[in-house]
Structure 1
């Protein structure tokens, strides 16, 4: 009896390897299904597969248990309107801020011009030059008007020797830091002029402006690149050329100190 039993045991094949082999095939099948599901854009099916395999392998929890990728949420009309309104508000705030900064810069520049005007007016008052010198703050800048008989003889563009000191002292009043652009212009009345030196009032006005500017620029503290000269002849009168008094006002040299900031 013992021999028969032993023979029966020897004839029986060992099939224990089938169990891990079947598990391996199952895992491979699961892997291919997961790979296929991952390549699909159907998020709902992927989520369902994930739940099934989680239940099979881990009882409903494990590494495959994660939320499906959510589709991007489209903004509603109300959200779009709110975003557009917010952008508009930001743009308006930037514009207001820039306008306010520009306004403050303009007001500060005007205050500086007023200080220069007060300094020049103090010089005029000290030297009793109220009739010959006039200052005015205009939209174009600070304007200093000098009657021509203060600086020049009739029909001449040469600054009188007695007035050289006045021109040099004025140059000191034009020292500014930082410097400003300054335009010196000459003007005449409408009485025709023709002499050996000038053929017209236009030429006379130009040379008066240039010669006065040269004296101003004797001051080494002034940089010539900030200065320019113009001649207008009789074409920009400020009074009636029909009277002697009006013609006297029209014969003038003007020094225009320009603002750094304009509106």
Structure 2
């Protein structure tokens, strides 16, 4: 044990080692201050660490609010303004990715909005299709007025459905039995058809049909050849003048595979022997043909 007593006549004060200790502490303080003055802070690393801590503690974004919070669902009772919509689910998740939005929407409401947009788009599409179908019906009505005499004589039938117009040419008065050559008396009708079809847009299919009676002899061995030959003959006559573009045309032979009536009666077989001109119009204005 150290005795600091130096005698009754000496002045008492700090021990001698205190001066050395004070000098040492001053030097250490100056040393750490010097180290701090030479140090540099890595800002990028600091931001990275701060961001990780922010996500770990659940802080997504801090937004300076100048007004009362707004919400579209009852998240807290103190949300004074806002539109409240009940939701059937128990778990409600707020979408807060976009801070510029004036209100918050739940995932359920976004799905409802997307469904509403789909319904509106479907309604607009249905309205557009209905308008186009009305235009097709108007084209068919003009054809009926143009060929009123031929329809009355049961040489031609004209029907329309959707965006399709069917001009049905019966064998009576157009083709001799078992032949693919058009009669001379029917050529004026073809000329009227050519002029009318030039003004109606759409792709044109010339389809030949027959009954189910087998062919015996003649230039056509089967009903397939006869139906295709009649369709091709009518196509050649329509394209005789440049009113129609040949790229619009298509020739098809169906033989007896698509009858209109039963083949067990003469009347039914007569209806089945026909050539149909099917005009297929587009469903969009940007589409030239179907």
TM-score (ref. length: structure 2): 0.63
Q: Is the 8 A contact 2:156 2:168 kept in 1?
A: yes
What is the distance in 1 between the residues matched to 2:195 and 2:237?
A: 12
Mapped pair 1:155 → 2:178: yes
Q: CA deviation at 1:221?
A: 2.6
Structure 1: 5+ residue stretches without partners? 1-24, 44-69
Q: CA RMSD in A?
A: 3.6
Mapped pair 1:72 → 2:69: no
What is the distance in 1 between the residues matched to 2:38 and 2:92?
A: 45
What is the distance in 2 between the residues matched to 1:235 and 1:39?
A: 81
State the match for 1:46 in structure 2: none
Q: CA deviation at 1:26?
A: 11
Q: Is the 8 A contact 2:206 2:276 kept in 1?
A: yes
SS at match of 1:150: coil
Greater RCO (Cα-Cα under 8 Å, separation 6 or more): 1
SS at match of 2:262: coil
Q: Is the 8 A contact 2:150 2:156 kept in 1?
A: no
Between structures 1 and 2, the one with greater helix share: 1
Count, aligned residues: 215
Give the alignment partner of residue 112 of structure 1, picking from 114, 117, 135.
Answer: 135
Give the alignment partner of residue 175 of structure 1, picking from 198, 201, 209.
Answer: 198
TM-score (ref. length: structure 1): 0.68
State the match for 1:165 in structure 2: 188
Structure 2: 5+ residue stretches without partners? 1-30, 52-57, 63-74, 76-90, 96-104, 285-290
Q: Is the 8 A contact 1:172 1:219 kept in 2?
A: no
What is the distance in 1 between the residues matched to 2:269 and 2:129?
A: 36
State the match for 2:72 in structure 1: none
Q: CA deviation at 1:79?
A: 4.1
Structure 1 segment 1-263 matched on structure 2, within 5 A:
35=41, 39=46, 41=49, 71-73=59-61, 78-80=92-94, 82-127=105-150, 129-138=152-161, 141-176=164-199, 179-261=201-283
